[in-house]
Every structure is written in C-alpha cells, then in structure tokens.
A and B are shown apart, each in its own frame.
Chain A
Amino acid sequence: MNIYRHEFKMHLRSDIIWSISQAAMIFLFTWIFSSIAVDAALLTETLSQFPKELLIAFGMENLDLATVLGFFSFAFLFSQILLALQAANYGFGILSVEERELTADFLLAKPISRRRILFSKVLSAFTGLTITNIVVWISSFVFINMFKGDRTYETSTLLKLLLGIVVFQLVFLTLGMFISLLVKRVRNVTPFSMGLAFGMYVLSAFGGMLGDVKLELITPFKHFDPGYIISNQAYPSTLWISVAYIVVSAIGTYVLYQRRDIPAPV
C-alpha cells in the first residue's frame, strides 16, 4: 500500500494535467460543433472537395460531421491519441524510473518482493489512467449535452465509444512496460511513448490510405476506430488483438521483471 501511495503522489500532477487537457479539448471540439452544425450542408460540401486520402487519414471518410456523434467521433480520435500518449508514458516510466533515477537500489533492498512492487506500481498507474478516463466520460457527456442544441444522439453508441477507453489504455500501459524491460535502459521516456503512440496512430492512418489490411490489424487505433464504432454501433472484430497485446505484455512484463538484473548506479 505504501508503494501504491508513493507512486500515486509521484504521477498525480501529470495525471491532473492530462485530464485537464482532455476536458479542454473535448470542450473545444464540441463548442466548434455547435457553431458549424448550423451550416452542416456547407461543411459536408467543403469536405467532399478534400482529397480522399486526407479524409481517410483522419478517419473521416465515412463521417457525417453534421450529426452529434459523427462530429464527436472526429474529436474522439484526438482524445485517443492523448490517452495513448499518457498510458504509454506511464507504461514506459513506472518501472524504468527506478533505474533512471537510480533509486532501484533503495526500493529493491527493502523487504518486499518484486511481484508486490510490480502490482503496486501497475495499480497506481491504472488509478491515474482511470482518473483521466472518468474525466473524459464526464466531459463528453457534459459538453455534448451543452452544445448539441436540439439535435439528438444515441446514448448507447456513445457509451460503446467510451467503454473502450479502459482496454485502449491498458494496451499502451502494458506494451510500454513490456518494451521498457526488453531494452537495456530507458534514458528518456518521451521518445519511447511518442514513438509507440504516434507510430500506432500513423499505422492506422496510412493503413487506411493504402488500403492495406495487414497494417491495420496491429494498431489499437483500428481496434477502437471511433468512425467504425459509430457507424456500426459495434466494435471491430479485430478487438481481440488488443486484448492479446495486454495478455502477452502483462505476462512478459511479469517474467522479465522477476528476472531482471538491476544495473548498478555508476
């Protein structure tokens, strides 16, 4: 419990900043929606003149921006990028920080098993991610209802979109931890987390543009594609790949952390 509390304090500030950014972004997008939805026909026409590849890259090819959820799914993609970045940040950070800041000798010389350390750290990071998750839920409902005017939307579809966040976060959290243990040392978390989050996003964007199904398969952005979820009111069938990521990364993390030689602070 003491490690959990300590860890939580360590990332509370970053968690608050991520949450505020999410709320601000969702506010901004829904607010824009309220003003452009009035001229929805004009917007649709403008978009139709954009190159198709560009629309695909932003997951906008099948979107009806004039509907509440149609527009929101566009906003949600950016929310997903932020969620992926935050989760990957925590994933790459929570275990590697002890070696980077050379505090591993302090922590691991204490009378506590590595399993306990790992569980406490994961639980603490997950708590942080859940706080952001809750903020996304609240801001989505509050701001959509604030700006939708007299338009309506399907609540169950929105719930589907938001329910996917937990799994989406866990993919990046566990993948980040797993990779951080596969490499010798994570000197700086940001390049790793940016690489993973944007890399996956670019794969999803370019996969769509090239029509290459294989690339789309591996990126969680496709497993939780907001455009797909909203137009089909269901998750893509490739969702199991994300679940597989979590299982494999979690097991890999556990095994590697148990066996890891902690480098001496030189």
Chain B
Amino acid sequence: MSIIEVNNLTKYYGKSRGIVDVSFNVEEGEIFGFIGPNGAGKSTTIRLLLSLIYPTSGSAKIFGKDCIEYGPMLRQDIGYLPSEVFYYEGMKVLDLLKYSASFYKKDCSERMYELAEIMELDLKRRIDDLSYGNKKKVGIVQGLLHEPRLLLLDEPTSGLDPLMQRKFFDLVREENEKGATVFFSSHILGEVQRLCSRVAIIKEGSLIETQDIKTLQKDTYKKIRIEAPGLDEKRFLIDGVMNLEKFDGAARFFFKGDINTIMKLISEQVVSDVTIEEPTLEEIFMHYYE
C-alpha cells in the first residue's frame, strides 16, 4: 500500500502558483526525498497533505484515506517538522512538549524524555530564550514524540549544527528502521543523497522527475577543479566534459561518466590542487533543463 498518494494536486493562491498537477506515490518504509529550490512548492505540498491549506484541484491520500476528510484521524500517525518553528510565547519547553503530547491517544512521555536527551534539550528553559537551533530541536522532539508512522520533514536541518544534524539523521534512520515512512523535503542535495532511497524533483510548481537516488547519482555530473602550473586545459576535452573554463591557472568543468577516465587524465599532470565536488542542486537542475 502506498503511504502517500498524490493525484494531480494543484494549488493556486489567488492567481499566484503554488503547485500544478503534481502526482507521486510514497511507498511504505521509504525515505522519500523531495528536492527543489526555494519557492518551488515543497512546503505547499506538505501543507496540503496536512490540510493546513486546501487544494484548488486534485486530491491526496495518506494511509489510503483522503487527507482532508480523515485529516484529524490521520494526523494521529503523522509527525510534522516545519522549516521554521514557532511556539507559544512564555511557555517552557517541557510545557510545550506536554501540550503537544496531550493531543495523541498514546502515552508519549517516555519517548519524549528519551528524545530530549538525545537532542540535548534543556526542558526547563523558556522557549523565548532559546536560540534558533534549540527551537528547532524542540520541533524535532515534538514531531517525533508520538512515534508516528509517517514523518513529514520540511527542510528539517536548517539551523542545526553538523553534530546535531547527524544525530537527527540517525534518529530519522532509526524511526525508518522501526517502520516509519519518511517524506523529506530539502534544497540540499547532499543530505537527500545521504538519506533517501528515492527522490522527486520539483521546480516552479511542477514535478520534473521522480527517480531512484542511485540512478540520479549516476546521471549527475561531478564538478571538478584542477590547479596546475602551465595547465593545458584542452587535454580535458574528452567525452562527458562540459562547461570547461580556465582562469588563473586553474581549470573547471563538469564531468559525467566513468570517474577513472578523468582520474587518469588528472594523474598525468603535476597538479597543485584538485577538488572533485557534487554539483549543487541548481547545477543538477541545469542538467534537467537540457
């Protein structure tokens, strides 16, 4: 059974576009990546799934049930972490988490303390006094404390330091291994690649592609920069090399194909510096436009 089924979902805010005719399925047990630049419609899609907003046309089902009609019931099993977290003024962290837990049928207190400890969250502090990153941790704990079957994560890592990001990813993986399905929206390709099995790419409100992450990686380019004295960049003009540029004694290009071919070419040179990077999301998108 598909955990999420989105059928021709369209949302216009007045005249401005949210998303147009988006369809995809998320299967049980998947970690599904949803990538796209800012304003592409990632949050709109998630907010439609939560019936925070209502579609102009099309529909979405979660656990096989319509997400508007059965919304309150479905949300018992959904954990949501928004990209920006805001909580009631003047509340202590513990009070907020308890308030959050009070909406769910099961007793969440044990998992709540466990998560707070993992995320190193001080429960006694007032939320107003917390830094952005710490507020985000509150968001993570309140989104996970009821052990949901489906996690909707909307750019969850912004504001977290690398250490916390890793802890968070471990948590998400752990929940996934316990059986939770994860819908992970992000504009950072790296974290999607690290975590997800399948990705959908959204751009200007429309899905461009839904792909297996391995295929996507194989398809994508590497960004290579070589610095060498007296470098002859023309040597790199082989199949799979694109956008070759030379400046200040360094060459920069994109490469797609067997990485060994290019490594051999590089090793023939006396280089002072080499970087091989994943292309940024924008650069991947450029590939999709061609």
| A residues apposed to B, CB below 8 Å | 2, 6, 10, 101-106, 108-113, 116, 259, 261-262, 264-266
Contacts and interface: CB of A to CB of B under 8 A. Distances in A.
B86 A112 contact: no
Given A6-B99, A112-B72, A265-B82, A101 B47 contact: no
B88 A109 contact: no
B265 to A, nearest CB: 47
Contacts of A105: 47, 52, 80, 82, 86
- Which secondary structure dominates where chain A touches chain B? loop
Interface in B174-214: none
Contacts of B13: 261
A261 B84 contact: no
Contacts of B100: 106, 110
Nearest to A108: B52
A102 B54 contact: no
Nearest to A265: B84
Nearest to A115: B72
Interface of B: 13, 43-44, 47, 50-54, 71-76, 78, 80, 82, 84, 86-89, 99-100, 102-104, 142
Given A111-B103, A262-B53, A106 B87 contact: yes
Identify the interface centre among A103, A264, A265: most chain B CB within 10 Å of its CB: A264
Contact of A101 (B80, B88, B142): B88
A112 B51 CA distance: 11
A101 B86 contact: yes
A105 B80 CA distance: 9
A261 B53 contact: yes
Given A101-B89, A109-B80, A112-B103, 19 more contacts: A2-B103, A6-B88, A10-B88, A101-B86, A102-B84, A103-B86, A105-B47, A105-B80, A105-B86, A106-B86, A106-B100, A108-B50, A108-B52, A109-B75, A259-B54, A261-B53, A264-B43, A264-B47, A266-B84
Nearest to B49: A109
B273 to A, nearest CB: 41
Contacts of B103: 2, 110-112
A219 B69 CA distance: 40
Given A101-B86, A262-B47, A109 B102 contact: no
Contacts of B87: 103, 106
Contacts of B78: 109, 111
Minimum-distance CB pairs A-B, first 3: A102-B86, A111-B75, A110-B103
Given A103-B86, A106-B86, A112-B72, A2 B104 contact: no
Given A101-B88, A103-B87, A111 B76 contact: yes
Contacts of B75: 109-112
**B51, B72, B82, B89: residue with the most chain A Cβ atoms closer than 10 Å:** B72
Nearest to A10: B88
A63 B80 CA distance: 61
12 contacts: A2-B99, A6-B88, A101-B86, A104-B52, A105-B52, A106-B82, A106-B100, A109-B50, A110-B100, A112-B103, A116-B72, A264-B43
A111 B86 contact: no
